[in-house]
Amino acid sequence: MAKKKQPNGSSSKVVNSNVMGLHAEVLEQPITETLELNYMPYAMSVIVSRAIPEIDGFKPSHRKLLYTMYDMGLLTKPRTKSANVVGATMKLNPHGDAAIYDTMVRLSRGYGALLHPLVDSKGNFGKVYSRDMAWAASRYTEVRLNPICAELFRDIDQDTVDFVDNYDGKLKEPSLLPTTFPNVLVSANQGIAVGMASNLCGFNLGEVCDTTIAYLKDENHDLLSTLLAPDLPTGGELLYDANTLRDIYRTGRGSFKVRAKWRYVREENLIEVYEIPYSTTSEAIMDKVAELVKLGKIKEIADMRDETDLTGLKLTIDLKRGTDPDKLMAKLFRMTPLMDSQSCNFNILIGGMPKVMGIGEILKEWTDWRSASVRRRVCFNQKKKQEKLHLLLGLQKILLDIDRAIQIIRDTEEDDQVIPNLMTGFDIDEMQANYVADIRLRNINREYILKRTQEIDTLQNEIEELGAIANDPKKIRKIIIKELTEVKKKYAVPRRTDIVYDHKKEEAASPDEDIPDYPVHLFLSQEGYFKKITPQSLRMASEQKYKEGDGAFLYWEGTNRDELLVFTDHHQCYKTRMSDFDDSKASVLGDYLPTKLSMEPDEKVVWACIAGDYTGNLLFFFENGKCARVDLTSYQTQTRRKKLTGAYCDKSPLVTAYLLKEDTEMAVYSSDSRCLIFHTAALSTKTTRTTQGVAIMVLKPRRTVVKVLPRSETPIVRTARYYAHNLPIAGALLRDEDNGTEQLSLLDS
């Protein structure tokens, strides 16, 4: 066995092996070195060179394709076959023709994935809202660049961006495209890298331009006042939530809800869905509706079909007689992808490093980058004018004695001495001498030279002005604002996604109407097994089955629409509906609540109750002799939360709890056989769930409260002995007749 030196200086073992007569060496390498040497370079390549967009709003595959089309002259020329573009793009992007064509499809007008398509397409390019509608092969379709692409390549030949070598070093390509507007916010983009992802939703071009202009004028501008909300290519209706959008604008992460647009055709008693959320497809909607109809959860639909044609998307739903279309759509929004959440993760490469940014940070990065591009363009033009001025200054010296210049050229015997002789004769440099020597014979006249030299003053003024612009950020911002104004005027279109501001009233309508309402009997065992049994089933068999060592704990009568609050030993409350449980039988164990409610591994049920209409109070009794009275409304939430942390005080273990609808007398038992009876009216109600409560029983050291019952459910005969007029008290020792033991002895005798 030998050791082999690794590139990083560490050593690995080389093991000789003989498999099927073949001699081979197997290199044993630690997994940490494998990750560092092999996996990390791959991960960084995916992040930096493939999946995450940059500040111009493009991934490398988009940029290579668009630049190839621009280089082919497809901004002004007629359409060409897509296969031609794909083939030419492979000079910059060697990942295969299929991947390049897929990129082209997503940027095309026909596919419809962008608010402002960059590729003007002809032929079948599929649809973003369809999962199964395949696009035609590249040999059948034709493409060219859309006019808006002129804003992506404006002044690209004026040193506005850096150019880098392509993969084989034979061609040059731009590292970024000098977009004159924040395309990163206009063009939707998604990417999945290694260990991170990016999801950029699109915004309306006009709103983006207005917001950028306002930001350039005031960095503290309220973005939400001009950038109203995301605008999605497939339209739909965005449910407006100012707080949610403000968080997304600030952090770059979050989600918002979008629902489909529909209309009711009264004459035919049907619903037509003509715009759907950007994050779903028509097939996914059809499949989900069919599943719900099959399960019997939706009974109002007679038929549903896809009638999409050349005019656009249309999903038709035939209704049964008497169906309310508004209620049906409200149900479909809750139960199908007709209403979906659009997630946001504004992860962008800045200087080669991925960074999640809010809208304000993105605008800052874009304006800084665009300012640098404009400054480079100004400096490029200034340099060109300086070079021209330099040549004209040389020509001006010739003006002093044209005949002498002609004489010098005529008297020079060798061609390569013409330039040095002119340089010596007029005290000009080589560049100026070459310029003079290249003037045609017909132009060697005073009129021509005077006209050219008259440009000197103009050029000097322009150079001075360009220098002032390059050194003044305010003037550069004015140029950017002017360009943004022009872009908005030429290319802005109305919003496609409508904004719904008053949707909370619609959502306030309870979905309980969709849940069947019938009486049920509810059983909870000591180990946490729960059963929902109908009265009919309970009449047929009432004997409950339990696991060995388990037994009855709590019992309620309620309805299938009731909500159950389950309290655990981790001081948490889980909320669930009776309709979430299947109807059961007495002969089965039932649903195990820790599993059904996805509790933590070591979490156990300590108590539960039916919330009803959330009127009343909860009494929490703790081992340390304290009792907390909490208003039941403290557990009521506007959203359908499944779990509430901090459900009750964690200072002492919970003995039991009690749902109090009206004040009554409670009996509290301690571990040293003492008891007290008090009236619950003596306890004040708290709205804080984690309140410690008040002391009701004074306990000796190492003594605890062990049991609490309503006085009516106890065998106590002499209540006056144990009644507490003031709290806390130690309670009285239990007598045998009040403990139920005397009655038992009488029965035994």
Catalytically active residues are 140
Number of neighbours of residue 675 by Cβ within 10 angstroms: 22
Sheet holding 694-695, edge to edge: 654-660, 617-622, 626-631, 694-695
- Alpha-carbon distance 227 to 205, whole Å? 10
Our CA angle for 695, 701, 702, nearest 5°, is: 100
DSSP 439-462: S-GGG-SHHHHHHHHTHHHHHHHH
Phi, psi angles (nearest 5°) of residue 25: -110, 130
Q: What are the tokens at 294?
A: 């099959």
Cis amide prior to 728 (ω within 30 degrees): yes
Residue 531: DSSP 8-state:
E
- Alpha-carbon distance 315 to 327, whole Å? 18
Q: What are the tokens at 27?
A: 């290199």
List Cα–Cα distances, 528 to 426, 525, 566, 593, 657, in angstroms: 105, 5, 10, 6, 16
Longest pairwise C-alpha distance within the chain = 152
Q: Would you call 653 helix, strand, or coil by DSSP?
A: coil
Q: What are the tokens at 585?
A: 């039988």
Sorted by sequence, the CB contacts under 8 Å of residue 606 that are 6+ apart come out as 567, 568, 569, 654, 656, 657
Residue 262 parent element (H or E): strand 261-265
Chain CA centroid to CA 518, Å: 40
Instruction: Label residues 556-592 b or e (16+ Cβ within 10 Å = b).
Output: bebbbbbbbbbbbeebbbbbbebbebeebebeebbbb
Residue 38: DSSP 8-state:
I
Q: Would you call 738 helix, strand, or coil by DSSP?
A: helix
- Alpha-carbon distance 389 to 383, whole Å? 10
- Alpha-carbon distance 495 to 232, whole Å? 9
List Cα–Cα distances, 714 to 497, 656, 698, 737, in angstroms: 64, 16, 21, 11
Number of neighbours of residue 235 by Cβ within 10 angstroms: 22
Chain CA centroid to CA 720, Å: 65
Long-range contacts of 136-141 (CB under 8 A, 24+ apart): 138/81, 138/82, 138/83, 138/86, 138/97, 138/101, 138/104, 139/81, 139/82, 139/83, 141/81, 141/82
- Alpha-carbon distance 264 to 271, whole Å? 5
Sorted by sequence, the CB contacts under 8 Å of residue 522 that are 6+ apart come out as 530, 531, 532, 533, 555, 556, 557, 558, 564, 578, 610
Residues linked to residue 659 through DSSP beta bridges, in sequence order: 618
- Alpha-carbon distance 290 to 114, whole Å? 30
